[in-house]
Amino acid sequence: MAKVDYATLKKGGFMRQKQKNNFSLRLACVGGALTAENLKKIAEVAEKYGDGYVHLTSRQGVEIPFIKLDDIDDVTADLAKGGCRPGVCGPRVRTVTACQGNAVCPSGNINSYDIAVKLNERYFGRELPHKFKFGVTGCQNNCLKAEENDVGIKGAAQISWKEDTCIHCGVCEKACREEAISFQDDKLIIDNEKCNYCGRCAKSCPVDAWDVNETFLVSFGGTFGNHISKGREFLPLITSEEQLFRVTDAAIQFFADHANAGERFKFTIDRVGEEKLYEVLKGAYDG
């Protein structure tokens, strides 16, 4: 019998189970989105080749367990007919997760799924010293828990008051949970030290008295496992997709250049130094 190349199978999303010659296949579900066609095909494959069920992972993925070693090629080909492809495991960039963002959610400040797709196209499967995770969340509600990721992206509303349009109703002041808005001598005052860019002021306004720019807050070095660390924000608001991708390019290249094998981004930052990472990120931020 030919020797089984488990490393290659794992790279292709097939993870060994405790049961001999059985694998759980991880699928690529960018932003947690699957079409009806995808779902039908996944169900067919789970019935035909698996044990008749799937597992929904904590990172919005789908895994089909109990795939037999001899069926792996057939499973991959069959899934492709339904527009499905395997995910990845091991030391490489994983499938990007995301909430639904402003395409669906009233609270969303950015189109999280669109950003996730672009990140996935840019980095998915890239070989690195250890696994690397991106997560995109649409607003300060943080449903995707951005800071748990190696790079977490959070939608932010950069707002400015349109005085001529305002009717001074006070709705925005009441809507602001951070108490960053107040009216003084009939003028609206924004305390920028308190503002967290949630955008509730603009969303609550009955007369559209706010200009809003879609921007990003980015955190670096988050982990959630044996070691739990909240990713840190080293940069001010990122104000364009072009600037965002310059920064993410710089972050992932820093990891590729400095990480030891088997070392997560957070521990690379700790070892090499936050100052060196900031220097690289700031250079990308400034362009």
CATH code for the domain in which residue 260 is found: 3.30.413.10
Mean pLDDT along residues 65-76: 96
Q: Which CATH number is 49's domain given?
A: 3.30.70.3340
Same domain, 13 and 151: no
Q: Mean pLDDT over residues 130-158, rounded?
A: 97
Mean pLDDT in residue range 144-155: 97
Within-domain flag for 176: no
Range of the domain at 18: 6-89
Q: pLDDT at position 207, please?
A: 97
pLDDT by residue (tens digit) across 163-213? 999 999 999 999 999 999 999 988 999 999 999 999 999 999 999 999 999
Number of H helices, E strands in the chain: 9, 12
pLDDT at 215: 98
Residue 25: which H helix or E strand, with range? Answer: strand 22-26
- One domain for residues 74 and 102: no
Residues 78 and 108 in one domain: no
Domain end: 89, 122, 140, which one? 89
Same-domain status, 19 and 129? no
- Picking from 89, 123, 147, the residue at the C-terminal end of a domain is 89
| 83 and 224 in a common domain | no
Phi and psi (nearest 5°) for 15? -100, 135
- Antiparallel, parallel or unpaired: β 228-229 and 97-98: unpaired
- Span 227-266, pLDDT tens digits: 899 999 999 999 999 999 999 999 999 999 999 999 999 9
CB atoms within 10 A of CB 208: 11
* Span 87-137, pLDDT tens digits: 999 999 999 999 999 999 999 999 999 999 999 999 999 999 999 999 999
**pLDDT attached to residue 186:** 86
Is 202 a member of any domain?
no
Q: How confident is the model at residue 2 (pLDDT cuts 50, 70, 90)?
A: low
- Residue 201: strand, helix, or coil: helix
Q: How many domains does the chain have?
A: 2
- Note whether 57 and 115 are same-domain residues: no
Residues 226, 128 share a domain: yes
**pLDDT beyond 60 at 1:** no
Share of the chain above pLDDT 70, in %: 99
